[in-house]
Amino acid sequence: MRVLVTGGAGYIGSHTVHELVREDHHVVVYDNLSKGHKSAVPAGVKFVKGDIRDQELLAQVLKENEIETVVHFAADSLVGESMQQPAKYYHNNVVATLALLDTMRECAVNKIVFSSTAAVYGEPEQWPITEDMPTCPTNVYGRTKLIIEGILADFAMAYGLKYVSLRYFNAAGAHIEGLTGEDHNPETHLVPLILKTALGQREAISIYGTDYSTPDGTCIRDYIHVTDLAAAHVLALKHLVHGGECRVYNLGSQAGFSVREVIDKAKEITGVDFAVREDERRAGDPAVLVASSARIKAELGWKPVWSQLNQIISSAWAWHRKN
């Protein structure tokens, strides 16, 4: 396959690029490096520094490399930040994706795998969440991704676009051989913040809210290893290249862990009894998000391999200690 990966220097993007390279696909990474790291792109992979809103450059790259399909990661993805800076999210996610889709149309590239999110569901009434449950985001980030899913469906109907939208639950962990890992700046995600605390780079880990209606009062999330997510992108690309229909899939492990449970597991794995502080709730956080991934397992044969909580934390811990 000849694949353009927007945001391929980022966390989930770079893990996906590694998986594509492992299978010998022709990959071009297109990333403006606003958050990604060029060093996360494997050696030998063509890298173009560019913004998806630069339609001239993007068109040139699509044509020159005879790209067949796009995997679109480039986006802002922080729930908390999206509540404080909605304009940034509507511009960088919705407007920029529209520019990408227009350029793809101009270049007759009609297949895309899109990074969506569990945040499209909001506060679901039942778990595990299936793809046909109502979507009602509680935060701006989730709303931007749901808007794009609507645009994809409309473009499919009117212009014959073929897409797979992957709704990620909580991506975590690092490449099993340590080739890449999670490195956001600033870091806001639970697992890396816990590990930075265990490394003594932070004084304490804060728990955002202890009064949720969950057994221990802290939010429950479905943590999925980033390499399992990456593998799902490769399957989705193959599905499209082989003429498959437009699909929406959840990607989770179907196991929920509370913030306290993740902290306890990290203490066990790292052997460090770091400090924990109870804090206020963070705006936009739903109490529980746990996925059913039955659909992608049945239709594309996806099987999470690395997504036990101890595998996630151990791989992330190995990477954080080295980097």
The set of catalytic residues is 141
The residue assigned the tokens 């890298």 is 47
Site string for ligand UFG, 266-285 (x = CB under 6 A): ----------------x--x
Task: Give the residue with the Cβ less far from ligand UFG, 189 or 295.
Answer: 189
Judged by CB under 6 A, the residue of 140, 146, 190, 237 near ligand UFG is 190
| Distances 173 to 96, 223, 320 between C-alpha atoms, Å | 28, 9, 10
Binding residues for ligand UFG, rule CB under 6 A, total: 22
Nearer to ligand UFG (CB atom), residue 100 or residue 259: 259
Task: Give yes or no for residue 144 binding ligand UFG (CB under 6 A).
Answer: no
Q: Is 135 in the site for ligand UFG (CB under 6 A)?
A: no
When CB distances to ligand UFG are compared, the closest residue is: 219
- Please name every residue paired with 248 in a beta bridge, in sequence order, or none if there are none: 165
Indicate if the alpha-carbon torsion angle 155, 33, 14, 168 is positive or negative: negative
d(CA 281, CA 209): 4
Q: Which single residue is written with the structure tokens 């913004």?
A: 51
Per the DSSP assignment, residues forming a β-bridge with 5 are 29, 71
d(CA 81, CA 188): 10
Selection from 88, 94, 67, 47 nearest residue 3 by Cα: 67
Which of residues 221, 225, 233, 247 is near ligand UFG by CB under 6 A?
Answer: 221
**Closer of 110 and 117 to ligand UFG (Cβ):** 117
Does residue 193 belong to the site contacting ligand UFG (CB under 6 A)? yes
Q: Which residues bind ligand UFG (CB under 6 A)?
A: 77-79, 117-119, 169-170, 188-190, 193, 205-208, 219, 221, 259, 282, 285, 289
